[in-house]
Structure 1
Amino acid sequence: MYISITAQKLGETYTQSSAGFVDYLEKENQGLEQSEMEHFFNQDSDEISAAEVVKEIDGNTAKLKKKEPKFYSITINPSKRELQHLKNSSEDLKRYTRAVMQDYVSSFNRQINSRPITVDDIKYYAKIEHQRTFKGSDKQVQENQPYASKILQHKHEIRKIEREGAEGNVTKLQQQINHLEKTAPHQINGKRIVQGMKKEGNQSHIHIIMSRKDKSNSYSLSPGSKYKSSETVLNGKKVRRGFDRDAFFEKAEKRFDKTFGYKRNYAESYQSKKDFIKNPKRYFSALLGLPTNERAVAFKILAKSGVPIANIPTTQVQLALKVVRRLKKGIDIAVKSSSIGI
């Protein structure tokens, strides 16, 4: 599980309208029949239109300045193992979203009218997507880039020959292009992976657009607050503030496990990520201390994420910091891909 919380920005300033982001989330519905579409939903309603989402989010920004976020984006990305565990991807993820938003509000150190915040106090809209495309920053695209550059160079040469009658063998250049296409290291169904290509397998994930203000348009609720829990004085009154991200991530993970009866391996847990960052020795010791079957699963999870399993230390002596540093890059990728983070 990987959860991200971001304030929507456009360059150096915060996006003033949610329209662009909502349009982006509607991309999968293009060309589909009404019955096949994934609609926006919230705690109480299904099949909410994109126009209503924009109207409600943009109309709920009282007293917010241009330099302040108007809304936040929360993305919930279950791992492949978690998605395989679900019986009905869309309905299960919708149920999970509604449950996890209760954990979200309980992570605020805020009160409204002298009572704790509830899910009924917030304004959010969620949408499930089932596809992902490769980005320019993805490893597969980057490692294919030298081949892409060479292919582009040859295509320019062919166009120059055909347009200007320059010297060159078009047939030979085309053969070189075909060879590069086939030998690029990352392929899907015999085609070179490029930016924008759809990823294989179950890619279901959840996008949530969250208003900065509560439903009454009176209280500011920021999950991006730098405070975990504190008090300040506002208009002569003591006001509690803060958002406990750590608590939210832990609750979200436990919520998934409890809701779907999922038996989480240490290697894919939020705790493992914290151990890895704060105490690498504890992280490796915990991995090696797992029962045989669980350890085998843990190593399989890490191997699929590109970690050099053969180099994982097997004794306490080998848990030297130089070994930890050597493995850090690979395991950091694995931890990020299987845990919750911001």
Structure 2
Amino acid sequence: MYIAISKQSQGENFSGSVRDFVKYLEKENEENNLGLQESFFDQYNDNIPAEEVIAQIDNNTSKLNKKDPKFYSMVVSPSQRELKAINNDPEKLRQYIRALMNDYAASFHRNEVVKVDDIKYYAKIEKERTFKGTDREIQENQPYATKILKLKKEIRAIENGELKVNINRIKKEIERLETDAPHQINGKRIVRGMKKDGMQNHVHIIVSHKDATNTFKLSPLSQHKENETILNGKKIKQGFNRDKFYKAAEKTFDKTFNYKRNFVESYMARNVLDKDPKRFLGMLAGLPTSEKQAAFKMLFKAGVKVPIIPTNKVQLAYKTLMKLKKGVEVAINSGSIGV
């Protein structure tokens, strides 16, 4: 399960409306028939009109200044394995998001317990994803793309009379490179912006910076996890525990759908990989045989080359560990494995 939280926009001026972002999230609906379109939903309601989302978010901004985001964007991207476990069912995904937002609310550190009814949010399922620069397929196709681009420039030079070379030979070389590129869909080299195949359901969530009563701020990007300060002689709790949220999000999915999560899919594994790649390999080596075999199969399928792990003590060169770490991170970012 990959979850990313970001501010309203880049920079420090957040005076703009949520309208542009809502319009962006409506792009799939413009391409689909009415029966295939996905509407916004919240904790209790489906089929919420886009204009209502805009009005509710834009009008829930009391006492926010220009340096305060009006809203936060959260993307929840289940892995293909997780989507398979719920049969790629949009209704089950909505069920999960509503359970997830309880975890979101519980991750705030406040004097009064924050509940899901305190959160003003609107979510929308998207059914397509496109390849981006961080995807493994794009990165491994890049050497071919670079050569193809160079050859196409030569063809333009020939056509403009700037270069005298056999144009047919260059065209054949381009055809060869297109065919030899390691990652293809339906016989075509995968490039940025191309739609991914398979199950790709994911969810965009717009969360207001202010609570549902438009009274106090709730920032999931707070620099504090669980901080306490004294204000006017009163102890004030503040912060948002993202570690707690990500762990809870994973447990909620597993419990709701009886999902058997492998070690390499877990949030814990990602944390260990970030901080101590050698320990990650040690933990991988120490898994029960069946789970270890499944883990290696998932990593292999994601294109990650795992070094041979000694049965006694893991002793690997730093460069090898960093190569492994990079490979797993690329697989995570591309959604190949659900860490």
Shared topology, TM-score over 0.5? yes
- In structure 2, what is the equivalent of residue 193 of structure 1? 190
Among 299, 311, 317, the residue aligned to 2:313: 317
Q: Give the aligned residue type for 2:29.
A: N
- In structure 2, what is the equivalent of residue 224 of structure 1? 221
Residue 104 of structure 1, CA deviation: 0.5
Query: Per the alignment, in what secondary structure is the counterpart of residue 210 of structure 1?
Result: strand
- In structure 2, what is the equivalent of residue 202 of structure 1? 199
Contact residue 268 and residue 335 of structure 1 kept, 8 A:
no
The answer for unaligned runs of 5 or more in structure 1 is: none
CA 1:226–1:11 in structure 2 vs 1: closer, same or farther (change >3 Å)?
Answer: closer
Residue 184 of structure 1, CA deviation: 2.6
Q: Distance in 2 between matches of 1:40 and 1:317?
A: 52
Q: Distance in 2 between matches of 1:332 and 1:161?
A: 42
Among 234, 238, 242, the residue aligned to 1:241: 238
- In structure 2, what is the equivalent of residue 58 of structure 1? 58
- In structure 2, what is the equivalent of residue 33 of structure 1? 33
Q: Distance in 2 between matches of 1:154 and 1:327?
A: 33
- In structure 2, what is the equivalent of residue 141 of structure 1? 138
Contact residue 73 and residue 210 of structure 1 kept, 8 A:
yes
- In structure 1, what is the equivalent of residue 93 of structure 2? 93
Query: Per the alignment, in what secondary structure is the counterpart of residue 73 of structure 2?
Result: strand
Deviation digits for residues 193-213 of structure 1 (CA, Å, limit 9, x no counterpart): 111100111111111010000
Residue 166 of structure 1, CA deviation: 7.3
Q: Which moved more, 1:141-150 or 1:46-55?
A: 141-150
Deviation digits for residues 216-263 of structure 1 (CA, Å, limit 9, x no counterpart): 111000000111112234566442211111111111111000000001
Among 272, 294, 301, the residue aligned to 1:297: 294
- In structure 2, what is the equivalent of residue 268 of structure 1? 265
Residue 11 of structure 1, CA deviation: 4.4
Residue 16 of structure 1, CA deviation: 2.3
Query: Per the alignment, in what secondary structure is the counterpart of residue 30 of structure 1?
Result: helix
Q: Give the aligned residue type for 1:290.
A: L
Residue 317 of structure 1, CA deviation: 2.7
CA 1:156–1:294 in structure 2 vs 1: closer, same or farther (change >3 Å)?
Answer: closer
- In structure 2, what is the equivalent of residue 285 of structure 1? 282
Q: Which moved more, 1:218-227 or 1:154-163?
A: 154-163
Is 1:9 matched up with 2:5? Answer: no
Residue 143 of structure 1, CA deviation: 3.8
Query: Per the alignment, in what secondary structure is the counterpart of residue 44 of structure 1?
Result: coil
- In structure 1, what is the equivalent of residue 108 of structure 2? 108
Q: Which moved more, 1:199-208 or 1:81-90?
A: 81-90
Residue 146 of structure 1, CA deviation: 4.3
- In structure 1, what is the equivalent of residue 74 of structure 2? 74
Deviation digits for residues 120-159 of structure 1 (CA, Å, limit 9, x no counterpart): 1111000111111111343333443444344445445545
Q: Which moved more, 1:48-57 or 1:160-169?
A: 160-169
- In structure 2, what is the equivalent of residue 251 of structure 1? 248
Query: Per the alignment, in what secondary structure is the counterpart of residue 204 of structure 2?
Result: strand
| TM-score, with structure 1 as normaliser | 0.88
% of aligned pairs identical? Answer: 51
Q: Distance in 2 between matches of 1:334 and 1:177?
A: 28
Deviation digits for residues 56-98 of structure 1 (CA, Å, limit 9, x no counterpart): 1111111111112211111111111111111352011000000
- In structure 1, what is the equivalent of residue 172 of structure 2? 175
Deviation digits for residues 249-285 of structure 1 (CA, Å, limit 9, x no counterpart): 1111110000000011112111222333344454333
Q: Which moved more, 1:21-30 or 1:235-244?
A: 235-244
CA 1:151–1:288 in structure 2 vs 1: closer, same or farther (change >3 Å)?
Answer: closer
Q: Distance in 2 between matches of 1:160 and 1:324?
A: 45
Query: Per the alignment, in what secondary structure is the counterpart of residue 75 of structure 2?
Result: strand
Q: Which moved more, 1:210-219 or 1:28-37?
A: 28-37
CA 1:194–1:293 in structure 2 vs 1: closer, same or farther (change >3 Å)?
Answer: same
Query: Per the alignment, in what secondary structure is the counterpart of residue 301 of structure 1?
Result: helix
Query: Per the alignment, in what secondary structure is the counterpart of residue 223 of structure 1?
Result: coil
Q: Give the aligned residue type for 1:245.
A: R
| TM-score, with structure 2 as normaliser | 0.89
Contact residue 272 and residue 335 of structure 1 kept, 8 A:
no
Q: Give the aligned residue type for 1:330.
A: G
Q: Distance in 2 between matches of 1:301 and 1:179?
A: 31
Q: Which moved more, 1:167-176 or 1:236-245?
A: 167-176
Q: Distance in 2 between matches of 1:218 and 1:36?
A: 37
